[in-house]
Amino acid sequence: MLQIEQNVSLKNFNTFGVEALAKYFVEINHEDDLVELFMDPQWKQERLLVVGGGSNMLLLNDFDGLVLHVNIRGFEHRIEHNNVYVEAGGGEVWNDLVNFCVAREYAGLENLSLIPGSVGASPIQNIGAYGVELKDVFHSCCAFEIATGTFKTFTNTDCKFGYRESVFKNELKGQYIIVSVKFLLSLIANVNLRYGAIEQELTNRGITAPTIKDVSQVVSHIRVSKLPDPSTIGNAGSFFKNPVITQAEFETVHAKFPDIVNYPAGDGYVKLAAGWLIEQCGWKGKIIGNTGTWKNQALVLVNHGGATGREVYNLSSQIIDSVYTKFGVTLQREVNIIN
Ligand code: EPU
Active site residue 238: yes
Integer Cα distance of 147 and 126 in angstroms = 24
Q: What percent of the chain has pLDDT over 90?
A: 99
Whether residue 279 contacts residue 319, with contact meaning beta carbons closer than 8 Å, is answered with no
Give the pLDDT of residue 115: 97
Kindly report the protein residue whose alpha carbon is nearest to atom 36 of ligand 1: 129
On the CB side of 284, how many CA atoms lie within 13 Å of its CA?
Answer: 14
CA dihedral sign, ordered 184, 239, 228, 323:
positive
Shortest-distance Cα residue to atom 5 of ligand 1: 275
Measured CA to CA, the distance from residue 59 to residue 339 in angstroms comes to 6
Mutate to test the pocket of ligand 1, among 127, 271, 299, 332 (most ligand atoms within 8 A of CB): 299
All structural domains of the chain, each given as residue ranges with its CATH number in brackets, are 5-70 (3.30.43.10), 75-186 (3.30.465.10), 234-338 (3.90.78.10)
Mutate to test the pocket of ligand 1, among 135, 201, 238, 260 (most ligand atoms within 8 A of CB): 238
pLDDT per residue as tens digits for the range 35-85: 999 999 999 999 999 999 999 999 999 999 999 999 999 999 999 999 999
* Helix ranges, 206-308 (H): 212-226, 247-256, 274-280
* Mean pLDDT, residues 186-199 taken together: 94
Q: Given pLDDT bands bounded at 50, 70 and 90, which one contains residue 218?
A: very high
Q: Count of H helices and E strands in the chain?
A: 8, 20
Buried b / exposed e along 274-283 (16+ C-beta atoms within 10 A): bbbbbbbbeb
Calculate how far, in angstroms, residue 143's C-alpha sits from the geometric centre of ligand 1. Answer: 31
What are the tens digits of pLDDT across the range 300-335?
999 999 999 999 999 999 999 999 999 999 999 999
Q: From ligand 1's centre to the CA of 273, what distance in Å?
A: 7
pLDDT of 1 > 90? The answer is: no
Lining residues, ligand 1, CB within 6 Å:
129-130, 195, 226, 237-238, 241-242, 261, 273, 275-276, 279, 284, 297-299, 334
pTM confidence score: 0.96
Whether the per-residue pLDDT at 91 is higher than 90: the answer is yes
Q: Exactly one of 55, 113, 166, 238 is catalytic; which is it?
A: 238
Q: What is the mean pLDDT of residues 194-223?
A: 96
